[in-house]
Amino acid sequence: MIAAVAALAGCPGQENNSAESGIRVHFAEVHVNERPAVLGKSTGLIESPIAAGPARAVARSISARAVPLDTGGYAHTALEYHEITDNASHGLSMYRMYLVVDHVELVPCASLSQLPMRLLNSLIPTASAHAGHGAEPVGGRSLGEANVIDVVTRDEYYLALGDLAVAPGRYCSVKVALGPAQDDSYGKPVPAAASADDPISTPDVPDLEGKIFALRADYCTTFDAGVCVGRARVDIDDAGLTLPDVQTIDFATPLEVSATKRNAFVAIGIAYGTWAHDVNVSLLASDMNERQKFADNIASSLHVFAKGLGGLPPNVSAE
């Protein structure tokens, strides 16, 4: 009996349970028409500060004055859209624009002590945010699968993509990869046919399976006394195109996380206003070279909208 008591006292199975959460980086996506201006040295891969002021509304109010219908395209005055300008001063109105972010990865700052591991990682694919390793869901999304971004939504809105568990250290850049949507991608819309009217009052929702982006847009082809009376549709996707696999975006200053700095955030920006700056949108539907430039601009528009310690900044209420 004495032996049994002595053996039981202080034995495994009687300690207190405990848990401490790890270091988390919260990722979000923010789309804007243009990258906010940044003071200081520009490397072409700009880290943007948080834009001040309320987000700009997208929807256009329907005027009480009768206007001629601009046939051939979409019901421009009745639909929500984002507008961008090409190199021929065409205004491309985007009614549906979906872009698929496949995965993100923080890149540690280079140091001599990490050189052997970085060499090893260059030979062996690094484990970024993929299923089962460090990706945690937030708001119904996770970085463990691809995320579909609806660009024709409110600008400057932090869309939480998920949290990533990372090791303590200093991180100097983020890799963002675009990739095709799969059946289990987050935010993948349900395909739907367009309405049968002209102009089209309800654009179709494209089937994004296997696609990296899909666009439903139009531009004005015919003006009458300064009013657009004819439009041409630009319905394209990445079929036949080659998008760059990974965009590496440098931070202006390293992001440092540690046991005492356990939360940080990185917001990936998409500056859609830059997509058509060297493209003639009237050729997009027919010319693959123009579409390839458009696709390259999509990839190049990725930037770091904001980063810092703590959780994601709160979204400002819309006007």
224-283: which residues touch another protein (CB under 8 A)? 258-259, 262
List the one residue from 11, 190, 193, 196 that touches another protein (CB under 8 A): 11
Using an 8 Å Cβ cutoff, are 147 and 139 in contact?
no
Residue 2 binding another protein, by CB under 8 A: yes
With binding defined as CB under 8 A, does residue 22 bind another protein? yes
**23-56 burial: b if 16+ Cβ within 10 Å, else e:** bbbbbbbbbbeebbeeeeeeeebbbbeebeeebe
Q: Is position 52 an interface residue for another protein (rule: CB under 8 A)? A: no
- Least gap, CB of 212 to another protein (angstroms): 25
Binding flag, residue 123, another protein (CB under 8 A)? no
Q: Does residue 110 belong to the site contacting another protein (CB under 8 A)? A: no
Under the phi-then-psi rule, with left for phi > 0, alpha for psi from -120 to 50, and beta for the rest, what region is 13?
left
Strands 24-32 and 263-271, bridge-based pairing: parallel
- Provide the minimum distance between the beta carbon of 270 and another protein in the complex, in angstroms, as a whole number: 27
Stretch that binds another protein, among 58-66, 123-131, 148-156, 216-224 (CB under 8 A): 123-131
Residue 148 as a binder of another protein (CB under 8 A): the answer is no
Confirm if 213 and 189 have CB atoms less than 8 A apart: no
DSSP state of 190: P
Could you tell me the smallest distance in angstroms from the CB atom of residue 216 to another protein? 36
H or E element that contains 248: strand 246-257
Task: Return the range that interacts with another protein (CB under 8 A); candidates 17-25, 32-40, 194-202, 300-308.
Answer: 17-25
Peptide bond into 137 cis (omega under 30): no
Closer residue to another protein (CB): 8 or 62? 8
